[in-house]
């Protein structure tokens, strides 16, 4: 019963993710009698909206109609790994769906069964195939159920960014039998060393191929990085629009007790929303998330998808409901200027004078914060002294609190007129300096006290020539 509940939850999760992304799925089945389509339709909560069509292929003709190249059928037959991959890929392309599922195996359960998934993402197609062995004595339904579950597991892991599952997906181009076209031999011979070529011609072709490969790889890396940055930026733009929209009563009703209503729409997208940070005159108008560890949002975005550009997040040890002595927020430094790159602007005292106050609202409370320091810290003991700021979160000892305050002020690029005491709540925002020493840049601010004006006298601020610097200086 527990396993069945886990399966049902996983299937429901997959359908919700497909629905949230407005994706549709198509399936082509050999040997299952349409079992996947039946199981998919049985899942509640919007299955009909994402399931485009299901098709049973009973012979080579119907397999070709599903999108399998004729040569694949001739070479591998109807019950093969290659056929399952071609079914998933072909039905997805034929039906113009976002996801394709393919099944290939003997209807009587007498041999191995193959379950395949084809997904189109970021203008590329990816294919994963799993083999399900025969289950002697259990009948064909057990094997078919395992094949159906394999497809749901692949989709769940792919959309969740599970590294182990992602590795199972390969570019569709590697499955050549899914493509129904081939380059003319004459064209290949023009570029590739061929039997009968003179030694000089072969060398020239090899050099040309090497140059094309290097150039192609460089272009691929560049375009991939640009595409990732663009997609990550779009996710952040959608997050801003989500926060700006007025939440519905239904969205507000789902909020945990104590949450501010303005976070209702963002909570619906990602329940791990912990707050929102805004720094004037920068691109830092961003959601702040919180996971059970500090690794997840290094490579996942606000929408929960795998993204090497990550998302801003609060340290898992911090408490958003009752702020600790020091709240830590982390974010990547994009050279494109996005995410936390703008923190480096605070190394200039003139920028501080124009932007001495920032906003960080938790899901429970709106707050303004007065900047007291921008510092650079070494975090690698192999290089030199380490300022262990990331482990200072809470203390009952006023002397330790004063130690932290003194340290961040001594290391600051500038001095301010803002007073700080051991009863204040601090906010430390960290990003990478992006240098070869792997130092970190931190912006430190204290919370505006109850009844205190948020105005700051910046005339007394000045560059700090005696700041404590990392050893590399």
Residues labelled as active-site residues: 332, 432
H or E element that contains 359 = strand 357-362
Q: What are phi and psi of 115, to 5 degrees?
A: -120, 130
Q: What sign does the dihedral 450-453-457-458 (CA atoms) show?
A: positive
Instruction: Please work out, in degrees rounded to the nearest 5, the angle formed at the alpha carbon of residue 119 by the alpha carbons of 117 and 120.
Output: 160
How far is C-alpha 111 from the chain's CA centre? 38
Q: What sign does the dihedral 287-156-20-24 (CA atoms) show?
A: positive
Q: CB-based burial of residue 469 (10 Å sphere; 0-12 exposed, 13-18 middle, 19+ buried)? A: middle
Nearest to 384 by CA among 269, 256, 473: 473
Q: How many CB atoms lie within 10 A of CB 111?
A: 12
Instruction: Please work out, in degrees rounded to the nearest 5, the angle formed at the alpha carbon of residue 380 by the alpha carbons of 324 and 375.
Output: 55
Can you read off the two tokens belonging to residue 253? Answer: 């009703």
């Amino acid at each position: 019963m527990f396993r069945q509940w886990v399966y049902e939850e996983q299937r429901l999760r997959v359908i919700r993710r497909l629905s949230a992304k407005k994706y549709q799925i198509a399936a082509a089945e050999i040997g299952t009698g349409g079992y996947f389509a039946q199981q998919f339709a049985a899942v509640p909560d919007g299955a009909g909206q994402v399931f485009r069509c299901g098709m049973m292929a009973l012979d080579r003709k119907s397999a070709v109609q599903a999108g399998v190249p004729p040569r694949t059928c001739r070479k591998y037959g109807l019950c093969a790994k290659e056929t399952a991959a071609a079914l998933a890929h072909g039905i997805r392309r034929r039906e113009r769906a976002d996801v394709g599922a393919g099944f290939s195996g003997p209807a009587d359960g007498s041999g191995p069964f193959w379950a395949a998934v084809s997904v189109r993402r970021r203008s590329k197609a990816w294919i994963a195939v799993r083999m399900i062995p025969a289950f002697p004595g259990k009948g064909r339904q057990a094997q078919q159920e395992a094949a159906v579950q394999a497809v749901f597991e692949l989709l769940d892991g792919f959309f969740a960014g599970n590294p182990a599952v992602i590795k199972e997906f390969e570019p569709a181009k590697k499955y050549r039998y899914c493509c129904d076209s081939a380059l003319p031999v004459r064209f290949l011979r023009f570029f590739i060393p061929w039997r009968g070529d003179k030694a000089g011609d072969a060398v020239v072709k090899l050099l040309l191929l090497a140059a094309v490969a290097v150039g192609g790889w460089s272009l691929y890396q560049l375009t991939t990085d640009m595409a990732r940055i663009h997609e990550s930026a779009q996710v952040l733009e959608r997050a801003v629009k989500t926060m700006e929209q007025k939440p519905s009563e239904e969205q507000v009703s789902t909020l945990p007790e104590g949450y501010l209503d303005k976070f209702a729409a963002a909570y619906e997208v990602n329940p791990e929303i912990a707050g929102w940070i805004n720094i004037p005159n920068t691109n830092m108008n961003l959601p702040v998330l919180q996971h059970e560890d500090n690794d997840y949002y290094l490579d996942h975005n606000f929408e929960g998808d795998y993204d090497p550009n990550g998302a801003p997040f609060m340290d898992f040890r911090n408490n958003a409901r009752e702020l600790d002595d020091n709240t830590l927020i982390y974010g990547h430094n994009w050279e494109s200027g996005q995410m936390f790159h703008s923190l480096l602007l605070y190394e200039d005292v003139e920028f501080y004078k124009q932007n001495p106050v920032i906003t960080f609202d938790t899901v429970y409370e709106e707050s303004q914060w007065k900047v007291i320091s921008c510092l650079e810290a070494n975090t690698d003991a192999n290089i030199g002294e380490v300022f262990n700021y990331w482990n200072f979160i809470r203390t009952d000892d006023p002397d330790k609190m004063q130690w932290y305050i003194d340290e961040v002020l001594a290391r600051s690029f500038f001095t301010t007129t803002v007073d700080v005491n051991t009863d204040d709540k601090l906010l430390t925002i960290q990003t990478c300096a992006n240098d070869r020493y792997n130092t970190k840049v931190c912006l430190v601010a204290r919370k505006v006290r109850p009844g205190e004006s948020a105005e700051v006298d910046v005339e007394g601020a000045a560059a700090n020539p005696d700041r404590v610097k990392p050893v590399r200086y």
